[in-house]
Structure 1
């Protein structure tokens, strides 16, 4: 598992897991934009302390911006979306 894939998997856990992601992860320049189902499921302090996270901004009751840097944001959003899609597909097969 490469560094970006590992970071995306770790961030997904800190965001409350795939089931807590309400919409596709998006990115804007240096930020990951995440909409969650339950903000209380997000492990905020651990998220802020993650090695790739430069900052966390709560945009609304369900929207979070995670500042990660210009080159990292696009990669992490793609990897998080793939992980969520894979877990949804596995759930449908069961």
Structure 2
């Protein structure tokens, strides 16, 4: 009975080893950077609609080392009174 068990275990290990990938895929991470996110200066306001994107571009280039074309912006009502919003930036 022990020989059968040993045979089953060895067969299972060989099947597992054959199914496992030989080597992990190498990835080029040299040009990969984490996305930076921040809240634009100014806090909760009612007039972000006309200037959120410009504010994010200015802050991103000046303070966060972002390229102008990589910067995105959005207006959220996070933690503000109803009708007031914050400007969220990322690059």
TM-score (norm: length of structure 2): 0.29
Higher share of residues assigned helix: 1
TM-score (norm: length of structure 1): 0.28
